[in-house]
Amino acid sequence: MTLADVTRASVLAAVEEFDRLGRDAFLKSTGFGRSRAYYLDYQGSLYDSKAIIGYAHGVSTGTAWGPANFSGGDKTVAQRLEALGFMVAFLPNPDWTRDEIILACDLVLTNGWRQLDANDERVRALSELLQSPAIHRGRRNPDFRNPAGVALKTYNIVADSSNGNQLDKLVRQEFQDQPTEMQALAARIRELLREEAEAEPVSNDPDLDEMSAREGGVTLRAHLRRERNPKLRRQKLADAKRRGVAIACEVCGFDFQRVYGDRGRDYIECHHRTPLHVSGETHTRLSDLALICSNCHRMAHRGSPWLTVEQLKALVATSSASIGTA
């Protein structure tokens, strides 16, 4: 008997039984654990692929398969389902980001540097928060950041083993060195996560693609969203013109209109001088914004810590001087 014995009708029978029992009861009755990456994607619902195939094999042949009957991996099961005309979703759990680890480490700190149980209300609350689309967008598997996963992360942070995740260790050390500052950052990330669900999404951007693991995505997206507020940008440009200031980069002096003519008129980016995770949610004054070119904007956000306009300007001046004397 092989996977070839499984028919489309038997898979549909397995889906029906899965829906009747519910996921946990179906997995228990078939002896399978939860899928880690491959799921049968049927009519908008996700089903654990090996458990479905194991039950379906029993419907087709009279002999149900358990975990020990599978010689191939999950991908082999996925291929059989696709051969029968089904869709298969590959949805592995993504690695924990710095933002997420900060929140888990904050939980451990408030618990006296002890791990927390999956049934702890604080773990359940963090699980619910992390399941928002603010950090990981798109479709996720059914176990994404569930309470068991969050509880396991608190264990990993507490264990601090030599084989552990390096980012876990880095964030843990930061909490030990700067507990007050890191707890404040955790509070800010929680606030931003709640706001993110209601905010307009920020499109893909090189700043996000190249940001270091240290920065974290939530604070950077909030920072970019503020900088791209079209009303603030118009006000900043109007203010610069009233004061007779050239619409040019405050760091390197690049003037888009001078280089590109009318096509470059009023083309410049706004940069918030103080990172949002440092300043918090405050009223933005025009003096808080700097007009800088696209290249300098990306260099300001590249790496950690972010460079101020003054630091970046000094860097440009030093680099230019060294090139001139070369």
pLDDT digits (tens, 9 = 90+) for 162-188: 556 888 999 999 999 999 999 998 998
Question: Is residue 69 classed as helix, strand or coil in its secondary structure?
Answer: helix
For the chain, which ranges sit under pLDDT 50?
206-215
Nearest Cα residue to 70 out of 31, 26, 17, 23: 31
Q: Is this model's pTM higher than 0.75 or not?
A: no
Give the separation between CA 37 and CA 170, rounded to whole angstroms.
28
* Per-residue model confidence (pLDDT) at position 220: 67
Asked whether the beta carbons of 196 and 276 are under 8 A apart, the reply is: no
H or E element at residue 186: helix 179-196
Give the separation between CA 143 and CA 296, rounded to whole angstroms.
41
* Per-residue model confidence (pLDDT) at position 232: 83
- Strand-by-strand arrangement of the 38-42 sheet: 45-48, 38-42, 87-90
Q: Residue 191 to residues 199, 209, 315: CA-CA distances in angstroms?
A: 12, 23, 34
H or E element at residue 242: helix 230-242
H or E element at residue 38: strand 38-42
* Per-residue model confidence (pLDDT) at position 205: 52
Q: Which two tokens stand for residue 211?
A: 């940001």
Give the separation between CA 146 and CA 22, rounded to whole angstroms.
17
